Amino acid sequence: MKSLQVGRRLFPREIDRQAKEIPNKVFASIPRSSDLSKGFQDVTMKDFAWSIDRLCAYLEPLIGYSKTFNTVAYYGPPDMRYLIVIIAVNKLGHKALFSAPRNSPAMHRHLLNATDCHTILHARQIDIPSMVTGHKAVRHAIPELEDLLWAKGEPPRHYPFTKSFEEAKNDPFLVLHTSGSTGMPKPITQSHSYAAALDALLHIPPVNGVPTKSLIVTKGARAAKVFPPWHVGGSTLLGLCGGVWGNSVYVWGPADRIATGKEIVEMVKYGKCTQICSGPNLYEDIVNNPEWLELMEKVEYACYGGGT
């Protein structure tokens, strides 16, 4: 499969293309344990593509194929399974919904009802009954991340994404939501054309010799990107765009907690990060600690976004 032109590529197809043509391209790096001093393990594009197909094979008997883009919610710890779920349910004709764990049960139920969601996927350790109290959606636990990425045995059956850009451009890709600071959170549906437009942004030439931020954060660096994967920054913008459309390596924080300034410092130290993408409050933690600040000498670029 030849690469489609920039701005008209589709994530599911491009991931499969790269897995075939440049399988050893490093897409992400995940911690070996919750103790970040134990180091990180790189995830290649082939690893990522195969994990998606493994999840498709696991889900097909449970949720089948959809011709109407059924909504499938996922709740899990902040690990790479969020990205795997996005593409896997797309390949099966569904769309994923991510509801932030901090949301109240009423907020979770509101988003499930607003998106007509009747299926919930979750990591085994997540207490779904307490999160969505009383909601009647069917629930399925999914495999552990390591089992999806590196299961032993035969390669998984391949699940192709067969639609062209013209056929899929207006189809839903992912559902996130507003903050809920002014009432119930409102679902926001991203289309495949939205994701493809982000691809085009990476090819805007420098202005007066200064490259765009999008270009900087997606070109060839190991980056500590600590926006959670249920946030637009940690899912589409940095989670997928940087490693698929670009060549950056998304270095993940610990899966058992949300990263703080301490974790960012450890990601730089043990994950060999030269970039940081974070909320502004975490930088405040770092600059107020002289020992941590000294370790930041290895960082070439830091950007921030979101609220405090």
What domains can be seen in the chain, in order of their start residue? Answer: 11-304 (3.40.50.12780)
Residue-level pLDDT at 204: 86
Band the pLDDT of 141: cuts 50, 70, 90: very high
Mean pLDDT score, 149-167: 95
Residue-level pLDDT at 220: 80
- At residue 1, does pLDDT exceed 70? no
Q: Sheet containing 301-304: which strands, arranged edge to edge?
A: 40-44, 26-31, 249-251, 222-225, 275-278, 301-304
Residue-level pLDDT at 4: 53
Band the pLDDT of 101: cuts 50, 70, 90: very high
The single-letter DSSP state of residue 39 is -
Cα 22 to chain centroid distance, Å, stands at: 21
Residue 37 tokens, joined: 């001093």
Mean pLDDT score, 275-279: 89
**Quick one: what percent of the chain has pLDDT higher than 90?**
75
Residue-level pLDDT at 83: 97
Residue-level pLDDT at 307: 57
- At residue 3, does pLDDT exceed 50? no
Residue 129 tokens, joined: 């009954």
Between 66 and 239, the more confident residue is 66
| Global confidence as pTM | 0.95
Q: Return the closest-CA partner of residue 111 out of 189, 190, 185, 180.
A: 185
Residue-level pLDDT at 308: 44
Cβ contacts of residue 74 below 8 Å, gap of 6+? Answer: 81, 82, 85, 96, 97, 98, 120, 121, 122, 142
Residue 153 tokens, joined: 């045995």
- Rounded distance, CA 221 to CA 227, Å? 17
Q: Return the closest-CA partner of residue 177 out of 113, 220, 94.
A: 113
Query: In this predicted model, what pLDDT tens digit does every residue of 160-194 receive, in sequence order?
Result: 999 999 999 999 999 999 988 888 999 999 999 99
Q: Return the closest-CA partner of residue 78 out of 222, 210, 259.
A: 259
Q: Where are the alpha helices (DSSP H) in the chain?
A: 11-21, 45-63, 81-91, 105-114, 128-131, 145-150, 165-168, 192-201, 213-216, 261-270, 280-287, 290-295
Residue 150 tokens, joined: 């590196």
Instruction: Tell whether the torsion through CA atoms of 163, 8, 68 and 65 is positive or negative.
Output: positive
Residue-level pLDDT at 212: 83
Instruction: Identify whether the C-beta of residue 78 lies closer than 8 Å to the C-beta of residue 255.
Output: yes
Band the pLDDT of 80: cuts 50, 70, 90: very high
Query: In this predicted model, what pLDDT tens digit does every residue of 216-273 receive, in sequence order?
Result: 877 888 999 888 999 888 899 888 999 999 899 999 999 999 899 999 999 999 999 9
For residue 14, report the phi and psi dihedrals to the nearest 5 degrees. Answer: -70, -35
- Looking at every residue in the chain, the average pLDDT score rounds to 93
- Rounded distance, CA 13 to CA 23, Å? 14
